[in-house]
Amino acid sequence: MSESAIVVVGTEAYIPHAQSLMANCVKQGNWAGDFCFLCAQDCDTSKLEGRGIHVFQCEEKSWSNAVKFHLFSPYFRKWERLLYLDCDILIQGDLNEACNELEDRFPLILCDGPQQSTVLDDWIHFAELTGDGPEKHPEVFAELTKRFPHIHQQIHTSDAMCFCPDTIPETTTQELLDVQAEFQAINPRSYDQQVFNLLLYDRMGFMGKDHCTWFPFDEPSNRVVSEPRGWDGTEEPEILHYWSAHAPWIEKTPDAGGYFNYRLDKPSYDVYQENLAAFETVFPRS
């Protein structure tokens, strides 16, 4: 077993996306470590089994975003470092080198970002997606801001995270589940990002654009110096986050956002399809 693992979280329907991403990590990311798929108990993982891929079916009986809280389970202490990746990501550089550099900043949980929004902005945004903004739950939002003074600070995004499992207290997953249960009224879909930022904020840091960024920021027109964002214009991020609306598995027209990957020099959909087709070869059954 390797000292490092890439973890992907998903449902049964997302297994093809996980397969493509895993092949992408090997083919374009030169990944030499292990892989693990994290899911709920009702997920049929037979398409991944017998291929050297670890599968962790956590205690959640069925899918919710709370499955992602189990990234911090003691199960992962079998590895010295983890790289978590959302499925709507493309890899375009060496992940081993990226993790070697990020490891120097442990015990921080290193995340994608930064975004311009605050932790509170995230809570408001996802509450309003369900029709329950601050005006419907003023007392809950008042408690939130009272208990967590860092809620007005810049948010860490959780689409990609790199950390050392041994530095994570064994109770972390349960604490995340408890916080989510307490504030369920304003987060009924158990979105994970804002819960991570409530409980783990002091332990989180940013990977930086050298390693991870949102896809428009790596387009040639945005490879610029930007003091507010901390860019010097020479960054070559290995990890590119597309967000679900622009995900690599969506076939796009040339004028659509996320159509072309400029580092790999082809449409993102083609990269996705080629890696999905290569999965059987990259991960043959034993």
The structural domain count of the chain equals 1
Residue predicted with more confidence, 2 or 120: 120
Q: Residue 108: what pLDDT?
A: 98
Sheet holding 239-241, edge to edge: 89-91, 239-241, 212-214
Cβ atoms of 69 and 175 within 8 Å: the answer is no
Q: Return the amino acid letter for 3.
A: E
Mean pLDDT for the stretch of residues 7-16: 98
CATH number at residue 35: 3.90.550.10
Mean pLDDT for the stretch of residues 8-21: 98
pTM over 0.85: yes
Q: What is the pLDDT of residues 122-176, one digit of tens each?
A: 999 989 988 788 889 999 999 999 999 999 999 999 999 999 999 999 999 999 9
**CB neighbour list of residue 229: distance below 8 Å, 6 or more residues apart:** 114, 209
Q: What is the pLDDT of residues 228-279, one digit of tens each?
A: 888 899 999 999 999 888 999 999 999 999 999 999 999 999 999 999 999 9
Q: What is the pLDDT of residues 165-206, one digit of tens each?
A: 999 999 999 999 999 999 999 999 899 999 999 999 999 999
Parallel, antiparallel or unpaired: strands 109-112 and 54-57: unpaired
Cβ atoms of 87 and 183 within 8 Å: the answer is no
Q: Residue 244: what pLDDT?
A: 84
Task: Map tokens 């002091």 to a residue.
Answer: 202
Domain of 17? 4-282
Residue predicted with more confidence, 45 or 116: 45
Q: Residue 130: what pLDDT?
A: 82
Burial class (CB in 10 A: 0-12, 13-18, 19+), 104: exposed
pLDDT interval class at 116 (50, 70, 90): confident
Q: What is the pLDDT of residues 63-104, one digit of tens each?
A: 999 999 999 999 999 999 999 999 999 999 999 999 999 999
Strand partners, 205: 110
Task: Map tokens 């205690």 to a residue.
Answer: 59
Q: Residue 228: what pLDDT?
A: 80
**CB neighbour list of residue 38: distance below 8 Å, 6 or more residues apart:** 7, 8, 9, 10, 56, 58, 67, 68, 70, 71
Q: Residue 196: what pLDDT?
A: 97
